[in-house]
Structure 1
Amino acid sequence: MRLMGDQNILLAFILSVIILLLVSQRSLTLAMFLAAFTLGIITIPNSLLPLLLGLLLDPSAIALALAVGLIPLIGEVMSETGQMDRLIGNMRIGRRAFLMLSPALIGMLTMPGGALLSAPIVDRAGGNLPRGEKAGINVWFRHILYLVYPISANFIIATEAANLELYRPIPYLAVLLLFSLLLGYIFLLRRCHGRIEYERRFSLKDLIQPLIILLLAPIMDASIRAFLNPQVKEAGTLIAVSSSLTLAIIIGRVKPFDLRKMTVKAKPWSFAAMMIGIIFFLEVFRSSGIPELMRDLPLSPSIIYCIAFALGFSTGRIITPAGIIFPVYISRFGSISPSRFALIYYGIFLGYVLTPVHPCVSLTIKMLKTEVKDYMRVMIPPVTAAALISLAALHFLS
């Protein structure tokens, strides 16, 4: 039996969102747990503890948390052993393609301060381009594969929040990826010409090995889901991520002592705890009575898109907005199609790459010795074009 009025339940949700937005700037894990407890204590006090205990004993939640925890460790191993440097050093392509691919591939390594790895590469390859444009290139292309790479915390958490199977939105997001590449070319790369001069001879092995590590996890995960169809699908994800990590360790010839140092630096337990916190918040949200209340609110998909963009811009994250906006959408409309998920996820992404609150943006600006106003001047045109066109597409689908 509900203990309080509908208005108070909505106020409890607003309070939990405020806590989530404020505390997430310091610790996303702490923010998720605090928001969940705040919402749960007010709306479902008698069910809160059993819900948390059930979550901690749920094989799907445990497997998903462990998989998310291991992902940044793969990036740390590949970075520390020089595997990404060898991959980028053996891409024999034109300057424009290099400026697209090199930050994008490094961006697949989930690790704090990763923008500092790709910014010097973009700086050298960009030649005489203005520093503001180099900053825009680094941030735009560094994050562009977030749209389609399924073995990442951002994507896993967003699809979990939207109650979608992991790979269903990818065909639609692939279209948005191509659209983003086109916008990046038009607004950021038109003035780039020529080829990159390499100091070392080409090595096919150094090109292929890191690519295999990066592609093994999503290919293996999709294969396990398609052919074995395990009862706990997240177990397949954990096996795939573990296999990719094992291969990175073997190829990098990582010694146990070095692996220990890399593990401490990557902090996989922090990412795993964050995943548990996010699932806990989602479960509390679904049990709180809020979904029933939101069905009558005057929220259109277009309004939700604008809120998603604003949350991406204000938080400088993808995970936090996804954990808020997709449950709200599902509460209002019952479910979300893969195409609409893709467009709203893209709205979060656009706010995320534009805002100076995003650590990669601030680190890139500092590394390339440019200013926020120069970065914004470069990024506002492609982000505005992308936002208007994707918002129009969402309105058309509605």
Structure 2
Amino acid sequence: MNFVTTIPAFVRIFIVFAVILVSIHRKLSLGHCFSLGAFVLGVLFGMTPWDILRSSAIALSHPKTLSLAAVVSLILVLSHSLEAAGQMQRLLDRFQGLIHIQAISIIVFPALIGLLPMPGGAIFSAPMVKNLGDHEQLSAADLSYVNYWFRHIWEYWWPLYPGILLIAAISGFNLWSLVLKSFPMTIVAVIVGYWPLRGKLSFSNQKSWNDKSTVNRSPWPFFVELTPVWMVIGLGFAIGYGLSRLNLFSDIAKEAGLIIALVLAILLVWYTNGVSATIRRKILVNRKLGSLFYMVASILIFKGILEDSQAVVAVSNDLLRWGIPLVIVAVALPMLVGLVSGITIAFVGTTFPILISLIQASSANTAVLPYLILGLVCGFVGVLFSPLHVCLLLSNEYFDTSLDQAYHRLIVPCLVMVIAALIYFRILG
């Protein structure tokens, strides 16, 4: 043990990352990956088995762990409920005919699906994208890119995504402030997303591309179908704000607001769509719910052991002693883990505790938020480029296109996202 603790802290944390990433590559569940990583982390940083067990128990019993796991699980229940009730399909049907500008309508379908973090959601929007793309000068690779890129434009700020929730939980930063400050990156993603499609899409008002679009439709039915989503965001914010003002559930006020709003939204979907008891039971006993709860718990156990083992302090001291600029750490570390894992919560859960510790150790006047947003964008760029990203694989498979064709279209938008994040970092700083 003495020999192990003489190894530089950065090398030891790299070994932990390697264990987690190899486990992900071998298709272990994320819960198993982070649990194994947490144990290896504790051992490498001198914790006894009893210390590891005690730290894990404290993390598991923390209200943040339970509330965050509940939020993520309820989001999945809502997503599955909308799909099972046919409301997601109706949402897309109601949209047809509202926008006659082809270049806008073709990106809205994957973007709408992206509002809810549905596992394999890229394959759900692919048929709609293909239908619209048949009327454009778009290749199969272009359609795959449209389906993939515009589905993920929300991940930089949308509060229903676990990555955003996890950043708020790890950093202690106000969720809604994080959401508002991160929002501009989605605008950049939409604009730069058109670059590979330049000259191939029409921005003119054309009604002939789809017979359904010639019908004059009211936007009201479309917004009605979106009610569960608006309810979660609006009520979630309002209830969370109210609870915090009343000093109720002070540690988890924003999570409690989201939990209440999500439960109400789910009940609304079930009631208005007449979802049967059999389907409700099937949604609630879905094995993925247990896996999600376990995954969130294991990530927060990992975070707890990072702190209790003094690993973050040791790594921070190493990086500060070596003089590595914080901005490089914020760009490179999340991007590397995102690229290798293909999962947002993987780079958030492993690298953000270290990044936050480095920020706090560097200077009392260093603002945390700019680094969080920079790390989020760069980490997600790594996820977008990852060959393990399920949405990329599903989209390419549906449109029968290759990985190299997808990468060819992703290079410029991803590079611009990193540059924009660095510029925005300077503006916020």
TM-score, structure 1 normalization: 0.92
Alignment pair present for 1:208 and 2:223: yes
- Structure 1: give runs of 5+ residues left out of the alignment: none
Aligned residue type for 1:307? L
How far the C-alpha of 1:322 sits from its partner, in A, is 1.0
Given that 1:103 and 1:141 are in contact with CA atoms closer than 8 Å, whether structure 2 keeps it comes out as yes
Q: Which protein is bigger by CA-based radius of gyration?
A: 2
Q: 1:372 aligns with which of 399, 403, 409?
A: 403
Given that 1:76 and 1:266 are in contact with CA atoms closer than 8 Å, whether structure 2 keeps it comes out as no
Q: Kindly tell me: are residues 215 and 6 of structure 1, through their superposed partners in 2, closer, same or farther at Cα, counting changes over 3 Å? A: farther
Residues 308-328 of structure 1 deviation map (CA, whole Å, 9 limit, x = unaligned): 222222211111011122112
Tell me the distance in 2 between the aligned counterparts of 1:49 and 1:370. 47
Tell me the distance in 1 between the aligned counterparts of 2:401 and 2:4. 53
Alignment pair present for 1:80 and 2:84: yes
Tell me the distance in 2 between the aligned counterparts of 1:269 and 1:320. 18
How far the C-alpha of 1:123 sits from its partner, in A, is 1.1
Alignment pair present for 1:141 and 2:141: no
Task: Specify the alignment match of 1:299 in structure 2.
Answer: 324
Given that 1:86 and 1:206 are in contact with CA atoms closer than 8 Å, whether structure 2 keeps it comes out as no
Q: How does 1:294-333 map to 2 (within 5 A)?
A: 294-296=315-317, 297=319, 298-304=323-329, 305-333=331-359
Task: Specify the alignment match of 1:188 in structure 2.
Answer: 197
Tell me the distance in 2 between the aligned counterparts of 1:172 and 1:397. 9
Tell me the distance in 1 between the aligned counterparts of 2:308 and 2:328. 24
- Partner SS, residue 194 of structure 2: helix
Task: Specify the alignment match of 1:175 in structure 2.
Answer: 184
Task: Specify the alignment match of 2:363 in structure 1.
Answer: none
How far the C-alpha of 1:198 sits from its partner, in A, is 4.8
How far the C-alpha of 1:170 sits from its partner, in A, is 1.8
Q: Kindly tell me: are residues 118 and 211 of structure 1, through their superposed partners in 2, closer, same or farther at Cα, counting changes over 3 Å? A: same
- Partner SS, residue 164 of structure 1: coil
Given that 1:115 and 1:364 are in contact with CA atoms closer than 8 Å, whether structure 2 keeps it comes out as yes
Q: How many pairs align?
A: 397
Q: Kindly tell me: are residues 313 and 14 of structure 1, through their superposed partners in 2, closer, same or farther at Cα, counting changes over 3 Å? A: closer
Q: Kindly tell me: are residues 266 and 95 of structure 1, through their superposed partners in 2, closer, same or farther at Cα, counting changes over 3 Å? A: farther
Given that 2:243 and 2:257 are in contact with CA atoms closer than 8 Å, whether structure 1 keeps it comes out as no
Pick which of 137-146 and 305-314 moved more.
305-314
Q: Kindly tell me: are residues 252 and 24 of structure 1, through their superposed partners in 2, closer, same or farther at Cα, counting changes over 3 Å? A: farther
- Partner SS, residue 175 of structure 2: coil
Q: 2:38 aligns with which of 36, 39, 46?
A: 36
Task: Specify the alignment match of 1:114 in structure 2.
Answer: 121
How far the C-alpha of 1:345 sits from its partner, in A, is 0.4
Task: Specify the alignment match of 1:243 in structure 2.
Answer: 264
Residues 213-246 of structure 1 deviation map (CA, whole Å, 9 limit, x = unaligned): 1121122221122222132322222212222222
Q: Kindly tell me: are residues 189 and 114 of structure 1, through their superposed partners in 2, closer, same or farther at Cα, counting changes over 3 Å? A: farther
Q: How does 1:14-93 map to 2 (within 5 A)?
A: 14-25=14-25, 26=27, 27-42=29-44, 43-45=46-48, 46-91=50-95, 92-93=98-99
Tell me the distance in 1 between the aligned counterparts of 2:235 and 2:325. 38
Tell me the distance in 2 between the aligned counterparts of 1:392 and 1:254. 48
Tell me the distance in 2 between the aligned counterparts of 1:60 and 1:311. 24
Task: Specify the alignment match of 1:261 in structure 2.
Answer: 282
Tell me the distance in 2 between the aligned counterparts of 1:132 and 1:266. 34
Tell me the distance in 2 between the aligned counterparts of 1:247 and 1:214. 11
Given that 1:6 and 1:293 are in contact with CA atoms closer than 8 Å, whether structure 2 keeps it comes out as no
Q: Kindly tell me: are residues 258 and 282 of structure 1, through their superposed partners in 2, closer, same or farther at Cα, counting changes over 3 Å? A: same
Residues 153-190 of structure 1 deviation map (CA, whole Å, 9 limit, x = unaligned): 12112332333222222222111111111111333365
How far the C-alpha of 1:354 sits from its partner, in A, is 2.4
Task: Specify the alignment match of 1:227 in structure 2.
Answer: 242
Task: Specify the alignment match of 1:197 in structure 2.
Answer: 210
How far the C-alpha of 1:116 sits from its partner, in A, is 0.7
Aligned residue type for 1:173? S
Tell me the distance in 2 between the aligned counterparts of 1:73 and 1:166. 21
Q: How does 1:328-347 map to 2 (within 5 A)?
A: 328-334=354-360, 337-347=368-378
Alignment pair present for 1:282 and 2:298: no
Q: Percent identity?
A: 23
Aligned residue type for 1:70? L
How far the C-alpha of 1:23 sits from its partner, in A, is 1.5
Tell me the distance in 2 between the aligned counterparts of 1:392 and 1:307. 19
Tell me the distance in 1 between the aligned counterparts of 2:420 and 2:69. 35
How far the C-alpha of 1:252 sits from its partner, in A, is 2.3
Tell me the distance in 2 between the aligned counterparts of 1:105 and 1:226. 27
Q: Kindly tell me: are residues 299 and 288 of structure 1, through their superposed partners in 2, closer, same or farther at Cα, counting changes over 3 Å? A: farther
Q: How does 1:91-102 map to 2 (within 5 A)?
A: 91=95, 92-93=98-99, 94-102=101-109
- Superposition CA RMSD, Å: 2.4
TM-score, structure 2 normalization: 0.85
Tell me the distance in 1 between the aligned counterparts of 2:167 and 2:411. 25
Given that 2:55 and 2:308 are in contact with CA atoms closer than 8 Å, whether structure 1 keeps it comes out as no
Pick which of 366-375 and 225-234 moved more.
225-234
Alignment pair present for 1:390 and 2:397: no
